Amino acid sequence: SLSKDLRLGLGISPTFGNATEWDDAFIGRYQGAYSEIKAININPSVAYRVNDMVSLGFGLNYVKFEADLRGMQPITALLPNTVDIESKLSGDDTGWGWNAGVIFQLNPALRVGLTYRSKIDLDVEGKVEAGPTSTPAKVSIELPDMASLALAYQASDKLQILADYTWTGWSSIPRLKVQHRNFGVVLTDEYLGFKDSYRVGIGMQYQYTDALRLRAGVAYDQSPIRKAEDRTVRLPDSDRTWLAIGFNYKLNKQTSIDAGYARLFFDKEKIDRRTVLGTNATGQFVRGSFDTSVNIFSVQLNHAF
């Protein structure tokens, strides 16, 4: 707090990420065997309360992006092959963006918030390694923008109802076209076909005692992947439903503990994707279905100084 109405903040968090790994003998190893993408966001921000009804916020986003994508390449054109070599694409970059938000206190019980996070342009530079060879490489990526609407309604002294809608502009990443860093020649061109998506959720907080607050919620999260032809072994994504429960427990006036559990139910979806080696389409298709579920456990310690 710089004054009663002006505050500064700093957040450090992951924003976008993915990790998958398949067995060495996986039939789809030529489309991807190991994938890890990390984007760490450093977000300094400022917030100002205009009056009792309106508060504004603005922040800058500095993103550190890293990618490590591996697959197998056959020694001969026959797929699958008994002798493979590993192909690895790795690179990193940093980029800048911004975010802004506003909160409206419509009445003592109802609060509405709007936020927007900008796109971030990255020119990822690295290398493609295949056996003993190493080729300098680059790929341009535009991380998607996001917009959210959130509601908080104090239904009673103990019960608060929460709801949110978030839109993500995933169509900013239609493909991953990797080029030679010095000559601009296309090395690989992986079509993704991402579409814009949304997430909608509703939840509640119930102050069970002065020390214990209970939480529960449900959300529907739409995948940016719509077609079996676009689904990849690197990102076997599908629409999913979240069910979550948790609590906050106050140890004293300054310290509390949060704990939560979420179960994600993914729709069972198919893959029907042609294998492409470099820029050459092969006769192999990876066909099948993914049956996925996720459990997320979290714990957090809060202390106010």
- Pick the closest to residue 21 from 73, 70, 91, 79 (CA basis): 70
Distance CA 81, CA 74 (A): 6
- Pick the closest to residue 161 from 209, 203, 109, 212 (CA basis): 203
pTM of the model: 0.91
Per-residue pLDDT tens over the stretch 113-133: 999 999 999 999 999 998 889
The residue assigned the tokens 């977000």 is 43
Distance CA 7, CA 82 (A): 62
Distance CA 262, CA 215 (A): 11
Phi, psi of 120 (to 5 degrees): -135, 120
Distance CA 145, CA 149 (A): 14
pLDDT number for residue 181: 94
How many angstroms separate the Cα of 280 from the Cα of each of 156, 181, 187, 236, 283? 63, 20, 10, 22, 10
Phi, psi of 172 (to 5 degrees): -70, -10
pLDDT number for residue 77: 67
**Residues of the chain with confidence (pLDDT) below 50:** none
Measured over the CA atoms of residue 179, residue 185, residue 190 and residue 193, the dihedral's sign is positive
Q: Are 72 and 86 in contact (CB under 8 A)?
A: yes
Q: Is 141 exposed, middle or buried (0-12, 13-18, 19+ CB in 10 A)?
A: buried
Which residues, listed in sequence order, are joined to residue 157 by a DSSP beta bridge? none
